[in-house]
Amino acid sequence: MNGFEKRTQQKMQTIKDTAFALLNQPAGVDGLRMDTLAKEAGVSKATIFKYFHSKEKLIQQVFMDFLDRMGAESMTFLSQDLPFEEKLMALAKVKIQYLDTVDQQFFLDLMAQYSQKADAELATKMHAYNQRYYDVMVQLLQQGRKEGKIDLKYSDEFLLLYLESMVQGVSDPAIYQKINVHYAEYWAEMLLKALAPTEK
């Protein structure tokens, strides 16, 4: 990366960091003003549009970066040599830690972006993100099966459908608007209990 490319990347990151700070307030997406963003990021509005093309694309990138950071931290736990139950609870705790750092409105705006279908490009990105999540979770659940923590009668196909139904359910505004971030840990506990082999 040459000096020009490095400066461009730094400028883009500054814009995204500033946008994140502005979005992470009670006014959320509705309160984001490009004039304010340009002033606080120390760039012109033209520079923002040059790099991100539109306000909507910038907002999408901020949310995708947030999800990617959370996903990357989750992967560090998944790659460790830990028992299935510890990994699952660690994933829940990572989610809680990340969501504890953002305003409730940021979470609601994130979920609105996550569940929308009107923007085909964003929907494709979210589908790819979900697919990575499902692939990782299937590997984790296979580990749980090997460790005897998951009933053998549950196939990968069923487990994937079960996870997908949970994700789709949480993506419904009627559901995610009522969510407390600490429910992530409860969901992990319920998942462990629901999938455990039946004691004979």
For residue 130, pLDDT beyond 80? no
pLDDT winner (highest mean) among 75-84, 120-129, 157-166, 180-189: 75-84
By the 10 Å C-beta count (0-12 exposed, 13-18 middle, 19+ buried), 105 is classed as middle
Q: Which CATH number fits domain 1-53: 1.10.10, 3.30.450, 2.30.30, 3.90.930?
A: 1.10.10
Q: Percentage of residues in the chain with pLDDT exceeding 90?
A: 35
CB atoms within 10 A of CB 83: 12
Residue 121 banded pLDDT, cuts 50, 70, 90: confident
Query: What's the average model confidence in pLDDT over 164-168?
Result: 77
Q: Report pLDDT for 200.
A: 62
196: which residues sit within 8 A by CB, 6+ positions away? 149, 150, 151
Query: What's the average model confidence in pLDDT over 49-60?
Result: 94
pLDDT winner (highest mean) among 58-67, 93-102, 112-121: 58-67
The full DSSP string for 39-75 is HHHTS-HHHHHHHHSSHHHHHHHHHHHHHHHHHHHHH
pLDDT digits (tens, 9 = 90+) for 28-45: 999 999 999 999 999 999
Residue 178 banded pLDDT, cuts 50, 70, 90: confident
What is the CATH class of 60-195? mainly alpha
Q: Which amino acid is at 47?
A: T
pLDDT digits (tens, 9 = 90+) for 71-112: 888 888 888 899 999 998 888 888 878 878 888 888 888 888
Query: What residues does each domain of the chain span?
Result: 1-53, 60-195
Q: Report pLDDT for 181.
A: 66
For residue 17, pLDDT beyond 90? yes
Question: 1-53 and 60-195: same fold?
Answer: no
Distance CA 161, CA 155 (A): 10
**Residue 43 φ/ψ region, left for φ over 0, alpha for ψ in the -120 to 50 degree band, beta for the rest:** beta
